[in-house]
Structure 1
Amino acid sequence: MATVKLLLKPNKVNKDGESPLYIRITKDRQSKFISLGITLLPDQWDEKNRTVKKHPNAVRLNNLIAQKVADAHGVSLEMETKNKFVSSKVIKNKVMGKIH
C-alpha cells in the first residue's frame, strides 16, 4: 500500500516568503511529488494536522487538498485491488491524468 502525505517544502521559498505544498506518494521506499499549485506562508500551515490555517481561503483550500489526497488514495487502492503493478510513479501519473 502506498502512503500519501502532504508536505510544505520550506527549501523552495518564493519572493513573497511562501513555500509550495506537495503531495508525497511513497511506495516501496520510492517517493514522487505532486505539486498542488498552492503556496503558503509557514504560519499558514498546520504541520501536525496537515491543514491550512490563518488563510482567508483556508476552508476552500482544505477541501481542495482533501479531494486531491483522496484521489491519490483512491488510485492506489484501485490499482492494488486490480492486482496491477503499482509504483509511486504510476500512481503520480494516474493522479495527474497521464495514464488511464
Structure 2
Amino acid sequence: MNKTFNLLFYVKKAKINSLGESPIYLRITIDGKISEISTKRTVKPSKWNSAMQKISGSSEECRSLNFYLKTFEQRVYDTYHELIRDKETVTCDALKNKLVGKGRLARTLIPVFQDHNDRMEKLI
C-alpha cells in the first residue's frame, strides 16, 4: 500500500511565452517519487495563487480555467483509484502513463474483423 500521494498545481515561470503567460503543471508525488504533467493551459504568473493552486479573479476565463483544473485533478484521483482497484502497482510513471494514454493498445480495423470472423466461425 502506498504511504503518500499528493498533487500540486504550479506555474513554470521559467517558460514564459510571447504573450507573457506561463504553463500550468501538475506535480504528482507518490512515496517520495515525483512526476510532472502539463495541463496544456497557460496563465499570467501575476494571476496565479500558489497557496490556493488556482487562478485569482472572477472573470469567466478564470472560472473556466479553475473548473478545468478541478476536473483534471478529479481525473487524476479517479485514475489513481482505478489502478488500486485493478491491483496494479501504483507509481508516478504508471499513473502518468495511464493518464496520457501511453501503453494503451490501439485496435486497428483488420484485427477487429479477424476477431469477429474467428468468433463467428466458432459458432458454426
Pair in the same fold by TM > 0.5: yes
Q: Deviations over 1:9-62 (max 9, x none)?
A: 112122222110011111122211111111111111111111112365011111
Normalized per residue, the structure richer in helix is: 2
Residue identity over aligned pairs, in percent, reads 26
Unaligned runs of 5+ in 1: none
Query: Which one-letter code corresponds to 2:13 in the other structure?
Result: P
Higher RCO (C-alpha 8 Å, min separation 6)? 1
Contact 1:45 1:52 in 2 (8 A): yes
Normalized per residue, the structure richer in strand is: 1
TM-score with structure 1 setting the length: 0.86
Distance 1:77 1:56 in 2: 32
1:13 aligns to 2:23 (yes or no)? no
- The number of residue pairs the alignment matches comes to 100
Cα RMSD between the aligned structures?
1.7
SS in 1 for 2:28: strand
TM-score with structure 2 setting the length: 0.71
